[in-house]
Structure 1
Amino acid sequence: MDRGLKEAQLERSARIFNVQKYNVHDGPGVRTLIFFKGCPLRCKWCSNPEGLRYDHQVMLKRNACINCGACVPVCPKNIHYMDNGEHKVRRDIKCINCKKCEKACLQNAIEIVGEDKKINELVDIVNEDKDFYRMSGGGLTVGGGECTNQAESLISLLESAHIEGVNTAIETCGYTDIEKLKKIREHVDLFLFDIKQMDPVKHKELTGVNNEVILNNLKYLLENGSKVRVRMPILKGVNDSHEEIKAVSDFLEPYRFFKNFDGIDILPYHRYGVGKYDQLDMVYPMEGDFSLSEEDLDNIESWIKEEGINVNLVRH
């Protein structure tokens, strides 16, 4: 690790909940994707519910748990308890991440989500795959949760990656303070920036927040030379209409020929994260299936192309 950064920056920690290597969906080339914990939005379709809260959390795989109770006596916070022979978890008590319950579980039914990693540790992980980045034009992508929630740690990680010659990208909902964004963008090669809904009232219903800050931040990035690729999570009957797609295209029309505007990624709805809600004793907010057909996706893709905007359909 290059010591061009101050020691304090390298010793700073980021709270993460996953590291995904050899990722090819979140930025160019082969990438290492680091997930930061904590998010200001509550999107009803979120596939990473373990990334919403900054706290450490207990995930319990009930189909693996045999209700042996081995975790109950080892937890110093009394988070685990037995109720009529069934293992349950108290969600109103903060986990201190001692991992004693995780170690006591012989069935691997318990996972403590949230790990504090120093910046130099994360950069060492990223550097393990430098050859892949070099051959493919890849690098580091930081997502979440919402990575801008931990702005100082994010900046230290991105700056460290640049010192190591690694390309950087972040996935963001865009809901962050503009002054933080100005500092962050100095170290970002590509913003993967979500537009979830153009109507502010519907946006609040779906995500818990208004979209004014988000759209203003997107304008700022585009107008100040940051490379941006817009990402659109698409749900059947929610934001897939021709009118909604046209509203997004109209918003982006002034930037259509900007060299730093890299087009739109369509992210079709999926249900991959639904099972994790049960492990956290959370209710999945979306009732029904909002998946789109191939015809639906073809239509959306063609509508965006008709507006003269580069578009890519991301298939996970």
Structure 2
Amino acid sequence: MEGCIFNIMKYSIHDGPGIRTTVFMKGCPLTCRWCHNPESQQVDRQAVRFPDRCIGCGKCAEVCTAGAIVIEDKRMRVDIKKCIGCGSCAEVCYAGAVGMAGKAMTSVEVMKEVEKDNIFYEESGGGVTFSGGEPFMQHEFLLEMLKSCKKKGIHTAVDTCGFVRKDILAELSGFIDLFLYDLKMMDDDKHKKYTGVSNELILDNLKELTQLGKRIFIRIPIIPGINDDANLEETGKYLSSINGIEQINLLPYHNISIEKYKRLGEEYSLADIKTPSDDRMDEIAQRLKIFGFKIKIGG
């Protein structure tokens, strides 16, 4: 089976226990305003542009069958709505002004990369983490890789936003050793405003996973002025009302992905928000510790 991958990160130590390989899969049902992997949101491949590298040769425009590229003042201009993500422009651009986010890979090809670091998994208690985007967007492809990992004795973790059909979650959960479960905010209206979807399904799925006895790390992105207020107490109260949450990871906001948005021809709306200080993150950690959870700052 073939899927779309946009990165495979080796020697990862922030996506679950031990040393891991993180497989980043394309596609996400959420459109979080602070998303630091905007290239992950679309399931299909998409063009990534580096305008400063363009030498105005026009090769990209010549091979673009969709008519999405024109050369103006010796620089390329791309109409995102017309781009079909075929990658022809990237193939002929020897200046490196155009690249592609996303690569078609088979499950066998992905597993070959994963297995290269078996010795690190064994010595550190690590394994493979499937992330994204949202891995469940390519659930059939994900299932095939999870089954392969189980056959080979590789520990599996899935980093998920929780917005997934219940039947899909139930089918795959038996092959997942650890859930890294993102919890953005408790207020449903704010959740819709900043992520594009309701949190009802996300909260329901979390309860079901705890009832199944799954190992769960909650991940909370801390976005100053958006979810670092009363939301923290609401989150603590909610999580303490259900059993099975092993720890909470607090992920401080950063805006280092601004350039990614520019390369995709998209606007980043939270550029003015600053990364919370270490003291602020410690304060937030203390506010959640009173609910009895193990708190870790960072992945």
Superposition TM-score tier, normalisation by shorter sequence: over 0.9
Matched, 1:269 2:258: no
- From the superposition, tell whether residues 228 and 80 of structure 1 become closer, same or farther in structure 2 (CA, over 3 Å): same
User: Which residue of the partner structure matches residue 12 of structure 2?
Assistant: 23
- State the shift of 1:220 in Å: 0.6
User: Which of residues 111, 114, 120 is equivalent to 1:132?
Assistant: 120
User: Which of residues 191, 197, 219 is equivalent to 1:231?
Assistant: 219
Amino acid at match of 1:309: F
The separation in 2 between residues aligned to 1:66 and 1:238, in whole angstroms, is: 42
- State the shift of 1:294 in Å: 1.7
- From the superposition, tell whether residues 269 and 96 of structure 1 become closer, same or farther in structure 2 (CA, over 3 Å): closer
Matched, 1:296 2:280: yes
- The number of aligned residues is 299
Amino acid at match of 2:139: A
- State the shift of 1:268 in Å: 0.3
Matched, 1:79 2:63: no
Q: Which runs of 5+ in 1 are unaligned?
A: 1-11
- State the shift of 1:95 in Å: 2.6
The separation in 2 between residues aligned to 1:65 and 1:187, in whole angstroms, is: 46
User: Which residue of the partner structure matches residue 53 of structure 1?
Assistant: 42
Q: Report the aligned-residue RMSD.
A: 1.4
- Whether the aligned pair in 1 keeps the contact of 2:258 and 2:271 (CA below 8 Å) is no
- Whether the aligned pair in 2 keeps the contact of 1:55 and 1:94 (CA below 8 Å) is no
TM-score, scaled relative to structure 2:
0.96
1:74-132 per-position Cα deviation (integer Å, ceiling 9, x unaligned): 233333211343211121224353x3322322221211112111111111110010001
Matched, 1:251 2:238: yes
Matches within 5 A, 1:109-148: 109-148=97-136
Q: Secondary structure at the match of 2:267?
A: coil
The separation in 2 between residues aligned to 1:17 and 1:51, in whole angstroms, is: 7
The separation in 1 between residues aligned to 2:255 and 2:49, in whole angstroms, is: 19
Q: Secondary structure at the match of 2:4?
A: strand
User: Which of residues 161, 164, 179 is equivalent to 2:149?
Assistant: 161
Q: Secondary structure at the match of 1:283?
A: coil
The separation in 1 between residues aligned to 2:189 and 2:274, in whole angstroms, is: 20
1:19-57 per-position Cα deviation (integer Å, ceiling 9, x unaligned): 111110000111111111111100000011111111221
Q: Secondary structure at the match of 1:71?
A: helix
User: Which of residues 32, 36, 39 is equivalent to 1:43?
Assistant: 32
The separation in 2 between residues aligned to 1:217 and 1:203, in whole angstroms, is: 16
Q: Which runs of 5+ in 2 are unaligned?
A: none
- State the shift of 1:251 in Å: 0.7
User: Which residue of the partner structure matches residue 56 of structure 2?
Assistant: 67
The separation in 2 between residues aligned to 1:67 and 1:313, in whole angstroms, is: 46
Amino acid at match of 2:43: Y
Q: Secondary structure at the match of 1:255?
A: coil
Identity level (%): 36
User: Which residue of the partner structure matches residue 228 of structure 2?
Assistant: 240
The separation in 1 between residues aligned to 2:118 and 2:287, in whole angstroms, is: 38
1:125-168 per-position Cα deviation (integer Å, ceiling 9, x unaligned): 10010001001111110011111111111111111111111100
The separation in 2 between residues aligned to 1:250 and 1:143, in whole angstroms, is: 27
The separation in 1 between residues aligned to 2:43 and 2:262, in whole angstroms, is: 19
User: Which of residues 287, 292, 298 is equivalent to 1:308?
Assistant: 292
